[in-house]
Structure 1
Amino acid sequence: MTWTPASVAPPLKDYEAKHFLLEVEGKVATVTLNRPERKNPLTFDSYSELGAMFRAAANDEDIKAFVVTGAGGNFSSGGDVFEIIGPLVEMDTAGLMRFTKLTGELVKAMRACPQPIIAAIDGVCAGAGAIVAMASDIRYGTPDSKVLFLFNKVGLAGCDMGACAILPRIIGQGRASELLYTGRALRGEEAERWGFYNRLISGEEVLAEARSFAKDLASGPTFGNAMTKRMLQMEWAMSVDEAVEAEAVAQALCMTTEDFARAYRAFAAKKTPVFEGN
């Protein structure tokens, strides 16, 4: 799978995805993993195309938020057993390293793209699918969903695609350790109680609610939203003093935007501000 370099990539609204569905409505793009007969597994091609798309999204000025979901009542069953796991068994070390770097690139691309990503999760959300959910900024789930970081079930470590770095920051070290050591299912109500899900919503409404929230974010001060996401990422490796200093610079930059001035003028006029992202 190849993708035009991000600097010259076409707008996402004009792109026809080959290994997932991509739908653009207004300022929101919805990515749907679309192999429902297999519970939407990921393949070498879909890893590559998804990562490249999120990298290209950094240069798309029209898209302000993403929703990621799965077709047919499931989010994703993870890496395809026959299209990925089977070939991996036959690879040498160099080939395996190319694969693990490819999968990690997807997570890095999701975290680096400036747009917030909201995952709408129903049914099975396992392995690499659980990682895609984890790498999103916001997660909406259903009572019937099951999240499984099941790498140890296939004889591997839980340290896959950044799980040991990101998951503890979402649900805590002890809870993340339990999931990564056992591969057990984290079901809907528990996932919300542990903080993995931001909200628990019925299967019939979860995608619509995720899109509604994405639309709300897309109508906000999107330069500020992008800065928030960037600082949330950068400050993992900072001391508190460093973080305070970095946020002073980031917020000063936000104060130079027209959206900041719009908000002031609207407040003074007792109106609701209409943000334009600049």
Structure 2
Amino acid sequence: MRYLPGEPQNLPGNRDALSRYQARHFRFDVKEGVATLTLNRPERKNPLTFDSYAELRDLFRNLTYAEDVKAVVIVGAGDNFCSGGDVHDIIGPLTKLDMPGLLAFTRMTGDLVKAMRACPQPVIAAIDGICAGAGALLALASDIRFGTERSKTAFLFTRVGLAGCDMGACALLPRVIGQGRASELLYTGRSMGGEEAERWGFFNRLCIPEAMLTDAQVFAYELAHGPTFAHGMTKKMMQQEWNMGVDEAIEAEAQAQAICMATNDFHRAYHAFVAKKKPVFEGD
């Protein structure tokens, strides 16, 4: 982007474009402000590898600077979302690593979740079929989750002799579905069906499988054409306020809302209301 004097948001380094990004370990397409990220190993239920973990982490970090991506949809190719870490490409090699190597891996996977929570774009997970292990954490780290009745979500770490505290699960899952329900899923590693996931609040809505991706993309499109600067502020405050008391949260929101009141989108909304028109937001 060409630098325009008087527009510091356009300073070199502050903005980037990802529409031409060529992903190596998954599919990535941008259309009308919505990025669709497709985990693309359907023959093995879309498992993650060391390389795909790292590329996902770096991509979500770069989304912080993406001017052409306003919302993200994550979906799995075929009839499944993600089966977790690839047994042959990840689980096997992990059994041969020393402690520094194991810690480097677990920190990398955690950094992916941190990057998803830190990027300003709303992230919508479209979940069909198997959503297990690290795949369940990709869904959990998203902001919105659409699912199907036939989906099966499992935080199955205890099934392989590990703790349920992987990639932030013990912090995130109780906040989404409650402490007791999260405890049951993390201790047992059992699958949670689609209807149960919606009833427990893990899914925002259930879709028929054939329409799920379209429904998620339409929802993302609506967000992408809304006040995107304000959406980013909402996401940041929901993340930051987990570690605040009520008084600190109210003050933080006062500051955040005052910042949003200084945006052009706020003024556009007012003038559109006066003119009895629908506001056209531009994210500034």
| TM-score, normalising length: structure 1 | 0.97
* Structure-1 separation of matches of 2:180 and 2:34: 35
Which amino acid in 2 is paired with 1:277?
G
What are the equivalent positions in structure 2 for 1:200-239 lying under 5 Å apart? 200-239=206-245
For residue 42 of structure 2, what is the aligned residue in structure 1? Answer: 36
In the TM superposition, what whole-angstrom CA distance separates every residue of 1:161-193 from its partner, at most 9, and x where no partner exists?
000000000000000000000000000000000
Secondary structure of the residue aligned to 2:192 is strand
For residue 153 of structure 2, what is the aligned residue in structure 1? Answer: 147
Which of residues 172, 177, 182 is equivalent to 2:183?
A: 177
In the TM superposition, what whole-angstrom CA distance separates every residue of 1:87-146 from its partner, at most 9, and x where no partner exists?
000000000000000100100000000000000000000000000000000000000000
* Structure-1 separation of matches of 2:21 and 2:14: 13
Which of residues 25, 28, 33 is equivalent to 1:22?
A: 28
* Structure-2 separation of matches of 1:8 and 1:239: 32
Tell me, yes or no, if the aligned pair for 2:16 and 2:67 is still in contact at 8 Å: no
The answer on 1:132 being equivalent to 2:132 is no
Tell me, yes or no, if the aligned pair for 1:7 and 1:56 is still in contact at 8 Å: no
Tell me, yes or no, if the aligned pair for 1:9 and 1:56 is still in contact at 8 Å: no
For residue 121 of structure 1, what is the aligned residue in structure 2? Answer: 127
5+ long unaligned stretches in structure 1: 1-5
Which of residues 270, 275, 279 is equivalent to 1:269?
A: 275
Secondary structure of the residue aligned to 2:73 is strand
Tell me, yes or no, if the aligned pair for 2:156 and 2:189 is still in contact at 8 Å: yes
Secondary structure of the residue aligned to 1:12 is coil
Which amino acid in 1 is paired with 2:217?
R
Which amino acid in 2 is paired with 1:264?
Y
Tell me, yes or no, if the aligned pair for 1:32 and 1:70 is still in contact at 8 Å: yes
5+ long unaligned stretches in structure 2: 1-11
Q: CA RMSD in A?
A: 1.2
What are the equivalent positions in structure 2 for 1:104-119 lying under 5 Å apart? 104-119=110-125
Which of residues 258, 264, 267 is equivalent to 1:258?
A: 264
For residue 72 of structure 2, what is the aligned residue in structure 1? Answer: 66
**CA positional deviation for 1:8:** 8.7
For residue 8 of structure 2, what is the aligned residue in structure 1? Answer: none
For residue 156 of structure 1, what is the aligned residue in structure 2? Answer: 162
| TM-score, normalising length: structure 2 | 0.95
Secondary structure of the residue aligned to 2:68 is coil
**CA positional deviation for 1:26:** 1.1
* Structure-1 separation of matches of 2:71 and 2:14: 20
- Shift in CA distance, 54/140, structure 1 to aligned 2, threshold 3 Å: same
Tell me, yes or no, if the aligned pair for 2:38 and 2:74 is still in contact at 8 Å: yes
For residue 3 of structure 1, what is the aligned residue in structure 2? Answer: none
* Structure-2 separation of matches of 1:72 and 1:61: 30
* Structure-1 separation of matches of 2:90 and 2:276: 57
* Identical columns (%): 66
* Structure-1 separation of matches of 2:78 and 2:281: 36
